[in-house]
Amino acid sequence: MPKVTYIEHDGREHAVEVKSGLSVMEGAIRNNVPGIDADCGGACACATCHIFVDPAWAGQLGERGAMEASMLDFAEGVQETSRLACQIKVAEAHDGLIVRLPEAQH
């Protein structure tokens, strides 16, 4: 199973295994990783699953979708590598993925 590391804004790391096919958001929720509220349950309608993808991985997860991009307009502190975790499906090739959680979501 691919391992995904979630790093909280204060540096606390959570390295967990996430089944392929689940989203990065679902991987956090199922493993009790704090900082991803996912208020809308993954419908791309809340932006409380905002994450920063590690720069080394930013090019390997596809592009933001149109709906995702417009939701990110409402998120705080958006950066170049910002994504919505519910819109990234984990695949075997993502083993070692690192994402960071914004301070606003702790």
Footprint on this chain of ligand FES (rule: CB under 6 A): 25, 38-40, 42-49, 71, 84, 86
Q: How far apart are CA 24 and CA 91, in angstroms?
A: 10
Cβ atoms of 103 and 12 within 8 Å: the answer is: no
Least distance to ligand FES from the beta carbon of 28, Å? Answer: 10
For CA atoms 46, 40, 4, 59, the dihedral sign is negative
Which tokens sit at 6? Answer: 């979630």
Query: CB 85 → ligand FES: shortest distance, Å?
Result: 6
Q: Give least dist CB 37 to ligand FES, A.
A: 8
CB nearer to ligand FES: give 13 or 39: 39
